[in-house]
Amino acid sequence: MAFVTANWNPLGDAFYRKIELYEMGWNLKDGLRDCLVAAAPYGGPIALLKAHNRCSPSARPQLEIFSSSGLPLASFPWKSGVVKQLGWTVSDDLLCVQEDGTVLVYDLLGGFKRHFSMGNEVSQSQVLETKIFHSPYGTGVAILTGALRFTLATNIDDIKLRRLPEVPGLQGAPSCWAVLTQDRQSKVLVANGSHLFVLDNTACTPVTPPGLSPQASSIVHMCVSFSYKYLALLTDSGHVWMGTSNLKEKLSEVDTKIKAPPKQMAWCRRPKSQQPSAVVMWDGLLLVVGECKETIQYHLDDDSILVPELDGVRIISGTHHELLQEVPGACEEIFKIASMAPGALLLEAHKEYEKESQKADEYLREIKEQSLLSEAVRQCVEAAGHEHEPETQKTLLRAASFGKCFLSNFPPEQFVSMCRDLRVLNAVRDYTVGIPLSHTQFKQMTIQVLIDRLVYRKLYPLAIEVCRYLKTPEYQGVSRVLKYWACYKVCVCVYLFTPLLYSNILYFVLFLQLLFNKVALNLSKLTPYCMPSCMLVYTVVMYLKNELNRGDFFMMLRNQPVALSLYKQFCKHQEQDTLKDLFNQDDDHEELGNFYVKASYKEQRLEARIAHLQSAVDEYYKAKNEFSAKTTEDEMRLLRFQRKLEEEKGEQLVGFSLHDTMTTLLSVGLHKHAEQLYKDFRVPDKRFWWLRLKALAEKEDWEELEKFSKSKKSPIGYLPFVEVCIKHHNKYEARKYVSKVTLEQKVKAHLAVGDVEGAAEAAIERRNESEIGTVLSRCSATTDHLLVERLNRAKATVAKK
Amino acid sequence: MASHLFCGRVNLNILREAARKDLREFLDKCSGSKAIVWDEYLTGPFGLIAQYSLLKEHEVEKMFTLKAGRIPSAAVKNIVFFVRPRLELMDIIAENVASEDKLQPRDVHILFVPRRSLLCEQRLKEKGVLNSFTNIDEYILDLIPYDGDLLSMESESSFRECYLENDQTSLYHAAKGLMNLQALYGTIPQIFGKGECARHVANMMLRMKREFAGSQTQILPVFDTLLLLDRNVDLLTPLATQLTYEGLIDEIFGITNGYVKLPPEKFAQKKQGEGGKELPTEPKKLQLNSAEELYAEIRDKNFNAVGAALSKKAKIISAAFEERHNAKTVGEIKQFVSQLPHMQAARSSLANHTSIAELIKDITTSEDFFDSLTVEQEFMTGVDTDKVSTYIEDCIAQKDPLIKILRLVCMQSVCNNGLKQKVLDYYKKEILQTYGYKHILTLKNLEKVGLLKPQSTMRNNYPTIRKTLKLWMEDANEQNPNDISYVYSGYAPLSVRLTQVLARPGWRSIEEVLKMLPGPHFEERQQVPTGLHKKRQPGENRTTLVFFLGGVTYAEIAALRFLSNMEDSGTEYIIAATKLINGTSWIKSLMDSPEENLP
């Protein structure tokens, strides 16, 4: 099996290997040149924004999303602002950080989800650099602003912006910086020349890496390991310093002998490995540095990017996708040339056994004599997990299975679960799915998360297969996937045109029937899609209404604004009482008040009506709507007054407005009662005067009207008196009031009673051109000959002035 | 019969024909003689699609209005219900069906307009009559061609539903209607919009298009742009009194489904020789659309310019009649006679409109009309909008029609970006005391939709909007207009200004103002298959469809037509709306008078 070690390179005590994961399915014209690229860890998707430093503002770059194998998932023209950085969240959402600090969130199929801002300060001073990082609290964003200050949000799902303290002596952009997570806090490590600072919430602390080579005058690059435990620094002298990220311990320092600034640097260390190692990338060159002086050099043909992983580094270029990692212990033991480890012997024994050679027995004996057979089986199983090629995996597992035959009481779990895991891993690593997870990563990520990721990619059948195969409990596995699938399907169906839509409602209801007992259906996932078709929402609501108890039903509606408002509409027409219950549940006192007001008008009996109104008043007070409460109290007062008067005087009044009530009272001569209402309800003087004036004129009680006009100075003036009299064809009475009219309205008053001369007199006196004009238009040239002349003369004099 | 639909730039008759075809197909499904039972609300809109003659051709022998109880007797084979999907109507239908004669069974059908609904069918099932129906079908009637450049959904309450009741059914129908339109007239490549509802409709359209991706229509796009506008972006315009001829007809007499009913007195005495007869009491019903040459000419003029146009027309017609004296040869006489029917039609049309104009003039020259218009114009120019208006006060004191008061108060509130709490409460109290406390619900509705509101701490931004968009033009020319402001004698409707700016120089120039108006503004593009890209001839105009969600007024339509006809406008407009409205019908749709709900 010599070929297994063909791509191994020694470095110190360990070996490193580079495995090709995929030949990329995309077809990029210029490779990754001039692209903003972001690849999610754990074999996640890759986002690409071409030509982000666009020259003309009208050009719209294309934002593309691919699977790790380069298959397109989404593509759309970028219409928003200039993007500084792309990155992925832990739940496979794409973050696009714009120059102004706005962060746009898309799902991995390119659907826009939301956006948020990194604060005013950022938008004012603009984004200089950005890093997106993952911590136990979720995905975070760190921004270096144009004002050379750092702003940081540790979890984008629960944004709390932190502005970090100033870095002393910082003149321009720092040479490099990184985000650390330590002591449950996110900190920023900044290098300014040869000085290093740690910024946390409160302070900026200068630090010195122990034993940093003295030739260095500046730190040009830094990177933090996947676990945030280790730190690597690259100096301008070409030295790579590696140590713990708390800067207490130095692990090694290696001279790369290259002084050019690198393009990227990343840790390449698997968990529990003894050797620290980092990968540094320059144009066309990749260097692995470890503890010893030697390095491994790889030649790169193409622009590439490094994606740090838990147990290695992925290298993505325009054409290929590779994984660089330290060869895992078990593999090394088995495949190292001339290895005598038990696993290696067992593999050899199995090979001979297949050849039907008696050597098999010899090897086996050798292992058994050292009583290392169970160790050998374990090694083979473990190594199989780390191998990428299914053939190699099979060979190792067959060897393990062979070895197991000679062991009694060997626990089978490890072997069985490895077989299962590998089948799942091989399935998701498949080119069409494109999630190149290693076994170590898979274990770290958990099966739950893997299923989620398959669901995000809408690979429902595969997700279900995986759940079934791994025997995941129903509620976490198959049902959950089905739920997502059904939501998605229904959403799609809702929009299909009518005949289809119609049958899909039925289908949807059936589906609800099936599922509702088991899974709490999240309707909120549905409603944004359902909004247009109200009938669908109605149907669902009506179904649920029968299916759930009232309390649960109301609780469910509470979170569904659209469904709720539609249901309220329905209740308004069909079930008034339910409407009340709904308002009650929401403590919507305002609407409850309105409800009672409406109800009051349905009542024929006055007591019932007043009782409803009283309830309305109570509700309005609870709603702190003073105006409505007071008004409704007034209404009750008026009703009581009307009833009393109806009983006493036999006048039909109940239901009249205050105005009409007063008019009626005045017209039947109950002046006192009208006065009382005027006072009780604080009717403005002006309106009351109008009211009395009109009522008296209506009655043609001219005597009373005159008395009234003299009772005190009219707040509405006397022109209305003139006009109302004229309206009732009483010129004689109207004339009485003309003299009382104010100067401004005199012309109008005179004209109203048909006294053109008086009007002319008044207009000339007032020297008002437009009024003279009005009077002129009322004169007839034949009869008022003289008057016209006078007016024209006056007009001419006025005009002159 | 539908000649008015041909005259526009876009042949809307295609749409009407498609609708008629569907109707014929459905009617033929129910073979034999039939009676239609109408949901009364639908008769108006259906009249725009098909006259009785079409129904008759398809063996419709009787028509009834949907009423509780029994269907009147008729010797027909089929009973067809034409109804909206409303639960309350289902109850009536169930009653109708249940009381059918069991001995002489007839086939019963139901046609839902515009969409069938499971909920309704459920209701029929509960009532035990669902199985009685031979056919249950739907008739999709979203956008109805109304005139050569005008589409309406004729959906009375869509503004109320969208903004007050949060029921977006009508928006769904609007989106469906637009999809249907695109199936007939090609994909509209550019969509602009302003407002929440506009955003919603655009979203639905884009989504529907995505679902439809497979079956792209291979039709050269007729429309270049779609502009979706929310009514609540421009609450002011419908409140103002329209001053175009058609607008005033609508304000004063009300136009429903393209018809107006007028007091008959003015139209009676024209017939000679019948002078002794008593005056007709039935109101005179006239159809108003651009098929009538004279009406097309004057409908969009400011009313002050209508008189001149009418007298000019009168001269032309009488001159034409005089021609007969010049006709000497047989050929000439023959030609004259052949023109006679046309001339007679023109003369009767002239007579009608002269009468209407006289009716309107009686009102527009009244002092009341003048005073109220003055106050409106003061509000629109921002005079004293922050104080209680004495005019409104006097109007309330004299108990003028409530809707007039509400229009004015709302207008003041809109022009002042909300009223001071004290002012608002004062108006409210005055209104409630004068017109009755029951109107408290109406006032609350007006507050909910934003027509009335207390002033917030924010600055009144109406003056900025007015100045930036030039909403007030001091020197509006009513006779020979040079700006859209002529339709309100000074006020240029905000909605139409937005449309105008969009065409040139583009919305980017008014970002600030757009931000002040409610709701988002947006632009979307729809891919048009290559090969269907329009190659514009030099000088060829663009065609824009402007869709008013929540209703449009005749004056706004007039203003858009004015823009279409402007020499160098470069854009022609087709107008669509959920409903044709005016301030009165609009406010009425928002009123809540509980007494009407009494059993």
Task: Provide CB contacts within 8 A for A305, sequence distance 6+.
Answer: A32, A37, A39, A264, A315, A316
CA distance B343 to chain A (A): 39
**ipTM of this predicted complex?**
0.86
* Omega prior to A206 cis, within 30 of 0: no
d(CA A538, CA A580): 19
CB atoms within 10 A of CB B18: 16
Note the pLDDT of residue A479. Answer: 73
pLDDT exceeds 80 at position A54: no
Residues in chain A: 801
Q: Does B56 touch chain A (CB under 8 A)?
A: no
CATH number for the domain spanning B310: value is 3.90.830.10
SS (H, E, C) A647-692: HHHCCCCCCCCHHHHHHHHHHCCCHHHHHHHHHHCCCCHHHHHHHH
Do B586 and B471 lie in one domain? The reply is yes
d(CA A613, CA A621): 12
Q: Does B119 touch chain A (CB under 8 A)?
A: yes
Nearest to B435 among A535, A634, A657 (CB): A657
The residue type found at B140 is I
**Residue where one domain finishes, among candidates B441, B458, B475:** B458
| Binary contact (B119, A657; C-beta < 8 A) | no
Between residues A620 and A573, the one the model is more confident about: A620
Residues of A in contact with B142 (CB under 8 A): none
Return the residue of B nearest to A567 by Cα: B167
Residue B273 lies in a domain: no
Best probe of the A interface among B86, B172, B367, B437, by most A CBs < 10 A, is B437
State the sign of the Cα–Cα–Cα–Cα dihedral B479, B480, B482, B487: positive
Do B473 and B562 lie in one domain? The reply is yes
Assigned token pair, B89: 């109507």
Best probe of the A interface among B112, B115, B118, B199, by most A CBs < 10 A, is B118
Return the residue of B nearest to A563 by Cα: B167
Do B545 and B525 lie in one domain? The reply is yes
Assigned token pair, A749: 């008053």
Window 211-250 of B, Cβ < 8 Å to A = 211-212
Residue B243 lies in a domain: no
CA distance A463 to chain B (A): 25
| Binary contact (A535, B438; C-beta < 8 A) | no
3-state SS, residue A92: coil
Assigned token pair, A50: 């071409």
Q: Does B158 touch chain A (CB under 8 A)?
A: no
- In degrees and rounded to multiples of 5, residue A322 shows phi and psi of -125, 160
d(CA A721, CA A700): 13
Note the pLDDT of residue B299. Answer: 93
CA distance A462 to chain B (A): 24
pLDDT exceeds 90 at position A509: no
Q: Does B115 touch chain A (CB under 8 A)?
A: yes
**Residue where one domain finishes, among candidates B345, B365, B385:** B365
Note the pLDDT of residue A524. Answer: 39
The helices-and-strands tally (H runs, E runs) of chain B is 24, 15
Do B494 and B448 lie in one domain? The reply is no
Note the pLDDT of residue A393. Answer: 93
Residue B246 lies in a domain: no
Percent of the residues in chain A that have a pLDDT greater than 70, as a whole number: 90
Residue B277 lies in a domain: no
d(CA B578, CA B173): 9
Q: Are A231 and A222 in contact (CB under 8 A)?
A: yes
Q: Does A740 touch chain B (CB under 8 A)?
A: no
Q: A194 forms bridges with which residues in the sheet?
A: none
Q: Which of B234, B235, B237, B253 is nearest to B245 (CA)?
A: B253
Note the pLDDT of residue A499. Answer: 32
Do B441 and B543 lie in one domain? The reply is no
Do B422 and B314 lie in one domain? The reply is no
Do B443 and B485 lie in one domain? The reply is no
Mean pLDDT of A718-727: 87
Nearest to A532 among B175, B396, B597 (CB): B175
Nearest to A505 among B118, B428, B599 (CB): B118
- In degrees and rounded to multiples of 5, residue B215 shows phi and psi of -105, 60
Best probe of the B interface among A60, A527, A538, by most B CBs < 10 A, is A538
Do B132 and B7 lie in one domain? The reply is yes
Best probe of the B interface among A60, A534, A638, by most B CBs < 10 A, is A534
d(CA B481, CA B476): 7
Note the pLDDT of residue A538. Answer: 66
* Domain housing B325: 252-266+283-365
CATH number for the domain spanning B58: value is 3.40.50.2060
DSSP code for A384: H
Between residues B48 and A428, the one the model is more confident about: A428
Where would I find the H helices in B212-286? 236-239, 245-252, 265-268
CA distance A333 to chain B (A): 56
Q: B34 forms bridges with which residues in the sheet?
A: B60, B78
Lowest-confidence range among A518-527, A542-551, B111-120? A518-527
Assigned token pair, B99: 């009381």
CATH number for the domain spanning B411: value is 1.25.40.850
CA distance A632 to chain B (A): 8
Low-confidence stretches of chain B (pLDDT < 70) are 1-3, 6-8, 211-217, 268-280, 534-536, 538, 593-599
Buried residues in B481-508 as b, exposed as e (16+ CB within 10 A): bebbbbbbbbbbbbbbbbbbbbbeeebe
Residues of A in contact with B441 (CB under 8 A): 594, 597-598
CATH number for the domain spanning B501: value is 3.40.50.1910
Q: Does B117 touch chain A (CB under 8 A)?
A: yes
d(CA B556, CA B493): 7
Do B104 and B61 lie in one domain? The reply is yes
Note the pLDDT of residue B30. Answer: 84
3-state SS, residue B481: coil
pLDDT exceeds 90 at position A294: no
Do B133 and B149 lie in one domain? The reply is no
**Structural domain tally of chain B?**
4
Q: Are B512 and B469 in contact (CB under 8 A)?
A: no
Q: Does A496 touch chain B (CB under 8 A)?
A: yes
Return the residue of B nearest to A538 by Cα: B119
- Per the prediction, chain A carries an average pLDDT of 84
Best probe of the B interface among A560, A571, A597, A667, by most B CBs < 10 A, is A597
Residue B276 lies in a domain: no
Task: Spell out where B179-311 has E strands.
Answer: 190-194, 225-230, 255-256, 259-262, 284-287
The confidence band for A506, taking pLDDT boundaries of 50, 70 and 90, is very low
Mean pLDDT of A62-67: 90
Interface size, chain A vs chain B, as Cβ–Cβ contacts under 8 Å:
127
| Binary contact (B167, A538; C-beta < 8 A) | no
**pLDDT tens, residue by residue, B457-497:** 778 889 999 999 999 998 888 889 999 999 999 999 999 99
Mean pLDDT of A150-155: 90
**pLDDT tens, residue by residue, A301-353:** 888 999 999 899 999 998 899 999 999 988 988 988 888 889 999 999 999 99
Note the pLDDT of residue B275. Answer: 47
Window 576-605 of A, Cβ < 8 Å to B = 594, 597-598, 600-602
3-state SS, residue A9: strand
Exposure of B2 in the CB half-sphere (CA atoms within 13 A): 22
Residue B239 lies in a domain: no
Buried residues in A791-800 as b, exposed as e (16+ CB within 10 A): beebbeebee
Between residues A135 and A20, the one the model is more confident about: A20
Q: Which of A352, A356, A354, A355 is nearest to A364 (CA)?
A: A352
d(CA A223, CA A237): 17
d(CA A556, CA A391): 53
Between residues A506 and A691, the one the model is more confident about: A691
CA distance A595 to chain B (A): 10
Note the pLDDT of residue A144. Answer: 92
Residue B438 lies in a domain: yes
Do B447 and B512 lie in one domain? The reply is no
**Residue where one domain finishes, among candidates B141, B175, B197:** B141
| Binary contact (B166, A562; C-beta < 8 A) | yes
CA distance B236 to chain A (A): 26
3-state class percentages of chain B: helix first, strand second, coil last, to nearest 5: 50, 15, 35
Residue B85 lies in a domain: yes
Do B74 and B146 lie in one domain? The reply is no
